[in-house]
């Protein structure tokens, strides 16, 4: 079974599967390529920042921007690209980029006892929430791309977003200008070397 064929989780929306693309602390942007069935290097980040958690997507979802729904998983130690993490959603960071809505679910590993008391945004250190918001607002600036943050919404809103994105993937509709399948396709080179 390919990673994009996995279900969104076993206990939706309380527990989700996250396919990790970029491990915590990394500056390379990796993306899952459904044609290859592999994680590929999209680009190094242009800005001198790193991912504040394991970053990936929920399989079987389609976000408003035409891509699978993004998730940042708080971890103590990074996993690896392609790792599937059972995670518990805590909230959602509402964002907008050049393609439209670009929500980021914040979650914790469901099996890590370090996070067993984390069940909502109020359980997360406020500085981490500011750090995550800051990262996603600035990491594309040197590429000339603008991202706007509309702030945090609670766990209930995160769960509604997850359910909506699962429904959208099943129906195959997205409101982005250019509709894409629920997984990222092969990276196309713009110029030959």
Per-residue pLDDT tens digits for 78-125? 999 999 999 999 999 999 988 889 999 999 999 999 999 999 999 999
50 forms beta bridges with none
User: Which domains, from first to last, does the chain contain?
Assistant: 3-167 (3.90.80.10)
DSSP letter, residue 61: -
CB-CB contact of 66 with 58 (8 Å):
no
Structure tokens at 51: 């991912």
What value does the mean pLDDT of the chain take? Answer: 91
What is the C-alpha to C-alpha distance for residues 146 and 143, in angstroms, rounded to an integer?
Answer: 9
What is the C-alpha to C-alpha distance for residues 143 and 49, in angstroms, rounded to an integer?
Answer: 13
Residue 99: per-residue pLDDT = 83
Per-residue pLDDT tens digits for 115-141? 999 999 999 999 999 999 999 999 999
């Amino acid at each position: 079974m390919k990673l994009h064929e996995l279900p969104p989780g076993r206990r939706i929306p309380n527990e989700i599967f996250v396919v990790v693309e970029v491990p915590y602390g990394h500056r390379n942007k990796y993306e899952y390529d459904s044609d290859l069935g592999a994680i590929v290097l999209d680009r190094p980040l242009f800005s001198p920042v790193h991912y504040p958690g394991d970053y990936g997507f929920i399989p079987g979802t389609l976000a408003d921007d035409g891509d699978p729904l993004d998730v940042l998983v708080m971890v103590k130690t990074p996993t690896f690209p392609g790792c599937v993490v059972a995670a518990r959603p805590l909230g959602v960071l509402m964002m907008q980029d050049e393609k439209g809505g670009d929500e980021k679910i914040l979650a914790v590993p469901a099996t890590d006892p370090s996070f067993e008391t984390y069940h909502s945004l109020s359980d997360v250190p406020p500085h981490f929430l500011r750090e995550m918001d800051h990262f996603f607002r600035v990491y594309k600036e040197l590429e000339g791309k603008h991202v706007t943050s509309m702030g945090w919404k609670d766990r209930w809103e995160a769960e509604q977003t997850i359910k909506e994105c699962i429904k959208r993937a099943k129906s195959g509709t997205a409101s982005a200008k250019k509709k894409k399948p629920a997984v990222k396709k092969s990276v196309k080179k713009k110029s030959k070397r």
